[in-house]
Amino acid sequence: MIEADDLIALVQNYNPKSNSGLIARAYDYGQRMHDGQVRHSGEPYFSHPVAVAAILTEQQLDDATIVTALLHDTIEDTRSTYQEIEREFGAEVAELVDGVTKLTNLQLSSSETKQAENFRKLFMAMSKDLRVILVKLADRLHNMRTIRAMRPDKQAQKARETMDIYAPLAGRIGMQWMREELEDLAFRVLNPEGRNSIIRRFITLQRETGDVIQKITSDIERELDRAGIEAEVFGRAKKPHSIWRKMEEKKIGFSRLSDIYGFRIIVGSEGDCYGALGAVHQRWAAVPGRFKDYISQPKSNGYRSIHTTVSGRDGKRVEVQIRTREMHEVAETGIAAHWSYRDGERAENPFAVDPAKWVATLTERFDTEDDHDEFLEHVKMEMYADQVFCFTPKGEVIKLPRGATPLDFAYMIHTRIGDSCVGAKVDGLRVPLWTRLKNGQSVDIMTAEGQRPQATWIDIVATGRAKAAIRRSLREEDRARFIKLGRELARVAFDTVGKQVTDKALNTAAKQLGIEDRNEVLARIGSAEMTARAVIETLYPNMVRKNGDEIDVARAVVGLSPSQTFRRASCCQPVPGERIVGIAYRGKGVMIHSIDCEALVDFEDDLERWVDLHWHEGQHPAAHSVSLDLTIANGSGVLGRICTLIGEQRANISDLVFIDRKPDFYRLIVDVELSDVEHLHAVMLALEADSDVASVARHRDLERKP
């Protein structure tokens, strides 16, 4: 375990003006609070907070952050309190320690709903002081470095949480070195065989080719020397997990993987960055599509660098990053650069971003989402997204995640622009709204008054901002439509009992039914979540006719989203009372099939299109057409009597087609309008009982399937 004097020396190496007395007191206090506690490995527990503090000294962080690291487990695991820490070390440290404690208690790998709420709390904690996250990430890094002492099941849980949450978060705030180490430590737990296989291949490759990194480094240094550019060149092999991920994404083996080496060129000025780029491209062929200029278009976390991939020695692809020393410091520490010290002074790095502004851009729309799943979706999109940079017609830069479309671009400008978007031009050419944008393209959005977001847009956009705006607009539009429809349905229902549908009556019903207000009552009636009859039964229970209202044919099915329409499949012609399933068609709504329909075999490998549905309970009108296959005697008046028989069962014949005419029998298909499956059975039973009917069966025609 690092002693107090050694830790203080680490801090004073970069901050000679640090408050060594404060750090020494925090060290002593933490050691006393954790006295007697041990880790899973058997080491004194306090060795962990000290190690976390040492990790943060590598980022050259301020005294308050180092002290917080030493005390970060005291409130949770010892008799220490917030008030005591505030009294001993000040309000700033107490707030930071309390923030880390709250983050520790968040179960970020729990169920989806709880996980979403905890992510919300995580981002809110970040918005107060990002140093809380820096301490938490260092805490997780040390725990992963020492994870072997834990039970295997706990190792797997912590590793998955690290891979899913903490590693991407470290990358998002610009601490790429920490992201890579966290991923590799988690990879070692989750897939040790995969990791070992990558390492074995590296050893074999090095034995066959020698020290490729040193050779390529010397090549680059020689070219920069010729160009008169002073620079430091560093090379390294990529981490095992990074290589494994590339192999998985590209579905190729190690031998076919090319860019497994990365090199950094650190120069003195921004001009030298472009000079070094020219020297590299003059010597080696650039790989098309693998150039990114994050100097002219920096990432939101302050990251600046030029990235290029070239075909280097022996045709091997190598990735080269070019940046200045100041850019490199931000690239290594990310947002943490805001608090770093150099020679006792707060480092004034022109490329370090203001953490408060950065977190505000990340969280501005998260705290308005009511839907937990949507919030979680947006957070993960923001954490994992790589970026592309596109331009407005006026030359303004719009940053978007990779895979974004013109619709995302429109919503990034303004929600109003997105909502009214009707088309887009990319580099002057009209393109579909689902086109994936590329770096450097100019995008011109066309709008029209009266245009509203379409339900299909949800599948087109890639950003959380656009998805949230579209869903919000659709909900508002659907709600307004449902309220209007609900009021009309309620008016008709109230008329049947001689009453008027007043606001007071609806508010009274809402109170009795435990619903928010009258508009919510009307919205539920309009969306078929509730019937107008239920409202009347609540207000006037003795005035309702027991035979009840018939269910509207257009709202006969339960399980559709508000924007979806449905049609009955002509192959099986399902009727109320039968088990049904829906098959979704893009732009055509949902087709309803009987659960035993043979046409469903065609969709067995496309299960994401299946929609779980059932019929509304209640009285359905006789408006569902069913085809019956009849064989009847060829006699005088027989057909007329059969038609009368069907009419006596309160069913209407909508069509009749003769299939076969024989001297003694006719075979025909009769389309009958029915209310439900019981009505169908009654009609078929009546026909079967007639002496002139040789056979009656339901006609199923797979040739008529949708």
Active site residues: 76-77
Greatest Cα-to-Cα distance within the chain, rounded to the nearest angstrom: 115
What is the chain's percent helix, strand, coil content, to nearest 5? Answer: 50, 15, 30
Angle at 22 between CA 19 and CA 27, to 5 degrees: 125
Please tell me the distance from the alpha carbon of residue 78 to that of residue 615, in angstroms, as a whole number.
59
Q: What is the DSSP letter of 256?
A: G
| Spatial contact of 220 and 320, defined as CB atoms under 8 Å apart | yes
Residue from 479, 407, 502, 477 nearest 445 by CA: 407
Q: Do strands 614-615 and 557-558 pair parallel, antiparallel, or not at all (unpaired)?
A: antiparallel
| Spatial contact of 554 and 574, defined as CB atoms under 8 Å apart | no
Q: Do strands 557-558 and 421-426 pair parallel, antiparallel, or not at all (unpaired)?
A: unpaired
Residue from 156, 159, 161, 165 nearest 133 by CA: 165
* DSSP-assigned states of every residue in 134-152: HHHHHHHHHHHHTGGGS-H
Cα–Cα distances (Å) from 66 to 13, 75, 220, 337, in that order, read: 14, 16, 39, 15
Residue from 444, 446, 467 nearest 456 by CA: 467
Please tell me the distance from the alpha carbon of residue 162 to that of residue 143, in angstroms, as a whole number.
10
Other residues' Cβ atoms within 10 Å of the Cβ of residue 330:
28
Q: What is the DSSP letter of 163?
A: I
